Amino acid sequence: MAKIAIAVEGITVRFGESVALQSVSLALEPGELLLLLGPSGCGKSTLLRSIAGFVQPESGRVTFDGEDVSRLPPHQRQIGMVFQSFALFPHLSVGENVAFGLREQNRPKTEIDERVERALSDVKMGGFAGRRIDQLSGGEQQRVALARALVTRPRCLLLDEPLSNLDAGLRHSMRDEIRRVCKQHGLTTLYVTHDQKEALAIADRIAVMKAGRLEQLGTPWDVYRMPRSRSVATFLGETNLLEAVVLAREGDNLRVKSAELELLARARPGVEPGAKVLLSIRPECLRLSATREADGDFLVTSTGSSYLGELCEHSLSCQAGELRAYELNPSGPSQHAAGRQLWARVSPNDVVLLEPEQVA
């Protein structure tokens, strides 16, 4: 059995009549980088703040390495935290900002100087200790905030939307830097974001939240390619949704029918012939061609295309309704003019049956 570094067990949080978290449970292994993902107001920051000790749950508990820390104040939980606003002290130098937590612990000056230098070096800010905060770029300020969190050698690292105030280019480079630093130090890390690409790029696992509940927990591949619910499928990337009925089982697959369109879909435990289901098909999983190439291909009609550089997005209509398909790395402007008939195909493994209760 894997060792557990952080465990959240049945956490419920209310703010007045509003339920912010409803019986949320999850566990992180030592050194794991777990991303809390979801829309604004879903409870992800409340969960992070409950783990940090800034929010007191109505019920449930939080443990670090098996120790119940639910009643400990934040400063006794030995956490490192990086906020959306960076929360740096503008009147202190870079080195003084990083050293703040160590001074609060009354560490010897020689130890403080050594650890501050090492922490700044770890985030590629060596030589910046004497700079003022207002002399730094946004990305440099974020690195200082990360160094300050690392220097106290925390039991875990908690990051709350740490890149949301940076421009797109900096977000891309800093997300890779955060993963590098966390893995280099073996830090158990919980990271809150609403950015799907950020989560997919750096997470070991992703916890998708909705309305105070944990919708799905798994690897980036699992939650993207095998979403369990409509909310996960639509929040994490783009998808085509089709209502269908299961006709029959064919080996490891199910034959399903949406309007007059029949497809093979990956079987789901507990789903039998006659069941009403909702299908999720990612746009990049649809393949288009001018001719029919295999059994299972179906006719679609192009209703328009948009060239987006790295891909071309095709709008299609078929017997089951409207679809979108992505042509990756197009060699030139689309040849699929509006009104043209094409053949489409999709692998059964890419036709995902969502939870039955998600059908409207």
Per-residue pLDDT of 51-82, as tens digits, reads 999 999 999 999 999 999 999 999 899 999 88
Position 26 pLDDT exceeds 90: yes
Is 334's pLDDT higher than 60? no
Where helices occur in 92-228 by DSSP H, the ranges are 94-104, 109-122, 138-151, 168-185, 196-202, 220-225
Q: Which of 96-105, 267-276, 348-357 has the lowest mean pLDDT?
A: 348-357
Residue 360 pLDDT grade (very low, low, confident, very high; cuts 50, 70, 90):
very low
Q: Residue 104 pLDDT more than 50?
A: yes
For residues 22 and 285, give the distance between their C-alpha atoms in angstroms, rounded to a whole number: 35
Residue 2's pLDDT is what? 63
pLDDT for 358? 42
Strands 33-37 and 205-210: parallel
Confidence of residue 276 (pLDDT cuts 50, 70, 90): very high
Map out the domains of the chain with their CATH numbers.
6-233 (3.40.50.300), 238-358 (2.40.50.100)
* Alpha carbon distance, N-terminus to C-terminus of the chain: 40
Tokens representing 214? 């944990």
